[in-house]
Every structure is written in C-alpha cells, then in structure tokens.
A and B are shown apart, each in its own frame.
Chain A
Amino acid sequence: MEMIKKILIVDDSPIARKMLKSCLPKDRGFEFHEAGNGKEGFDKYVELRPDVTFMDLTMPVMTGYEAIDEIIGHDKSALIIVVTADIQMKSIKKVLDSGAYMVLKKPLKREEISSALVKAEDTLQKAN
C-alpha cells in the first residue's frame, strides 16, 4: 500500500527543489508543496500535514535545524528527511537527535531517494 501522497520540500534554493522533485518517481502522483525557508516550512507543515517533509539545513530566516525543532515540537510523528550539503558528523547527529528521520547528502541520487521513500513508507505503514 502506498502511504505517501503529500510531500513538502523545504529549501531556499529553487534549483535544489527542482533537483529533488526530479529524483522522485513520476508515476506516483505525489502532491508537492514547497517552502523557501524554515519558517515557511513550519507554517506549511502545520497547514498541510504532509506525509513526508524534505528539509534543507542552511537557509535564511529560519534554519532547517530550527524548523525541525518546531515541527517535531508540534508533531512528534513528523517524518522529516534532511537533504543537506552539511555532512559534518556533528550536524548529522544534531538533526537525528532532534527527531529527523534520516539524512541524505546533496547532490541527490535517484536510488537514494527511492530507497528513502520505501523506508519511510514502511515506517508509516507500521505506525498505522
């Protein structure tokens, strides 16, 4: 059963959002929503309750670190996949400790996104 329908992409770079969308399967009929910073991302999360949120870390207005804290504070079951160029061990540990589901490294590869979605879907299925 396909559990993921609604996807929120939070990244300040329109090109990065385009790159991410292009890596997602085209035949799944996903409903995409986008946000250009962490604050907008949090607001859209509250409004839309996406199944999965892809989150960049380095952003203006509100960083991804802060947005993850806000979203998890609001909804402990939020499924946030961090997509970042910041691949320092301390950064990865920090976001996982904050409740992010997993971390993917930029630039994205289609296979990585696909297996992340399979894993996320499995988690959602078990939770329901």
Chain B
Amino acid sequence: MTMQKEQILTSEEIEILQELMNIAFGQSAADLAEVIDTQVVLSVPFIKLMQVADLPEYFKNHVKDYKNINLVEQKFWGRFKGDALLVFSSGAGKELITLLKHDEEVSLESDPVDILERETLMEVGNILIGACVGKIAELLQDVVTYTPPMVAVEKGYQEAISGGRYDPECTAIVLKTDFCFEEGDVTGFLFLVTSNDSGTWLREALKLFIEQYE
C-alpha cells in the first residue's frame, strides 16, 4: 500500500496540492462571506492518500461527533475529476438560513422550513464547492463541469454517505479542510475525493504550476 501511495504523489506534490487547497478554500470562504453575515474561520488543509475501501471509515471518524449530518455533494469532471462532499454539523441548515443575507425578508413562516433548509444548504454548498473546485482547476489550467448538487438534510452518517459509491480498487486522493463560522453554531468539512485516474495529469499539472515559481 505504501508503494502504491508513493507512486501517486510525492511529498512535494502533496505540499503543492495542500497549498492549492488553501488558496481555493480561501476563495470559497470569501465568496460565501459576500452573502453571509459572519466570517468563515479557516484551518490548515490536509491531503491524504488512501485506499478507497478505507474512505467510509475515514469520513465516519471525522463526523462521529455530529448527531446528524447535512451533506451537499457534487461530482465534478474535467481532467481534474472527482467528488466533492460538503458536510455540515447538525442544525447547520437552520443556522445558515438566519446567517444568509436575503434581499427580502426570509419567509420562514410562509415556506416550509425543510424546503428552505434544503435550498439554503444547496446554495451555500454550491458557493463553497464551486469556488473551491473551480479555483483548483483554474490554478491547474483546467476547466471542470459539475453535476447539480445533491442534498441530504439531517441524516445519520450511514444514510447520507453510502460505502459503495467508489471503486474499491482505486486509490483516493482526499483533500480535506474543516471550517467553522465566527457566529452561529456551524462547523463542517469539505472533502474532495479524486482517484488515481487523475494521477498522471495531476502530477504534470502540479509540476507546471510550481515551475512558475522556480
């Protein structure tokens, strides 16, 4: 397993990818801050190579303290392709409704809360995922397209994230960042999962990126 990991990305390539994730999520947070009334507190991103079979356990370990999770998922594909999973803590949907700046009064009374919650999560997810994945792709001279976001509201981990979604033979490159909001009780993780299918292109793109700074 170690040999396989070494073949996918070197430690320097992982460091470059980590810096790209840092830049990209910074862009996401800035875009989100345009529409919410609070600051997104960022943390140091983390890159991990692992067997796809180990992914469910890895996700579970990160969200185990959440009673339920809210999940926004989008697949993206270009030469950089994979799956973006944005996980929010329990209750985040309702918190986000109050944090979002609406041009009109939020119609909490007229609209069913579950619909509003789903739409809010979808909107926030779209901003965070789109800006982050889009920025990484841009920095690596790529263009990606996305599937429409899928949203799971207040689900148990097992229900929201199924184990059999990825090819177990593949190695996954997981880009993870966690965040919280300065106000409101909202925390979460963004996982970008890309497989070794993108490996050859990714190594070349990372090399081209860092060459600008040689």
Interface residues of A (CB under 8 A from B): 12-16, 18-19, 22-23, 57-60, 84-91, 106-107
Q: Are A16 and B19 in contact (CB under 8 A)?
A: yes
Given A87-B30, A91-B39, is A106 in contact with B44 using a C-beta cutoff of 8 Å?
no
Residue of B nearest to A109 (CB): B212
Partner of B40, one of A15, A19, A57, A88: A88
User: What residues make up the interface of B, taking CB atoms closer than 8 Å to A?
Assistant: 12, 15-16, 18-19, 22-27, 29-30, 33, 39-40, 42-44, 139, 182, 210, 213-214
Bound complex: CA A106 to CA B23 (Å): 6
- The answer on a CB contact under 8 Å between B42 and A58 is yes
Q: A58-B43, A106-B22 are in contact. Are A14 and B15 (CB under 8 A)?
A: yes
**Given the complex of chains A and B, what is the CA–CA distance between A87 and B30 in angstroms?**
6
From known contacts A59-B44, A90-B33, infer whether A15 and B16 are also in contact, taking CB-CB under 8 Å.
yes
B30 surroundings in chain A (CB, below 8 A): 86-89
In the complex, the chain B residue whose C-beta lies closest to that of A57 is B42
- Determine the chain A residues whose CB is within 8 A of the CB of B15 once the complex forms: 13-15
Contacts of A91 in B (CB 8 A): 39
Cβ of A88 and Cβ of B39 under 8 Å apart?
yes
Q: How far does the Cβ of B139 sit from chain A's closest Cβ, in whole Å? A: 7
- Across the interface, do A13 and B18 meet the contact criterion of CB distance under 8 Å? yes
Q: How long is the Cα–Cα vector from A84 to B25 in the complex, in angstroms?
A: 11
Contact across chains for A88 and B29 when beta carbons are under 8 A apart: yes
- Verify A90–B214 contact, CB threshold 8 A: no
Docked Cα-Cα span, A19 to B30, in Å, equals: 22
Q: What separation, in Å, do the CA atoms of A88 and B39 have in the docked complex? A: 7
List 29 A–B pairs whose Cβ atoms lie within 8 Å, in order of A's numbering. Answer: A12-B44, A13-B18, A13-B19, A14-B15, A15-B16, A15-B18, A15-B210, A16-B19, A18-B213, A23-B213, A57-B42, A58-B26, A58-B42, A59-B44, A84-B26, A85-B24, A85-B27, A85-B42, A86-B29, A86-B30, A86-B42, A87-B27, A87-B30, A88-B29, A88-B30, A88-B39, A90-B33, A106-B19, A106-B26
Q: How far is the CA of A58 from the CA of B214 in the complex (A)?
A: 24
Nearest neighbor of B23 in chain A, beta-carbon distance: A85
The answer on a CB contact under 8 Å between B19 and A15 is yes
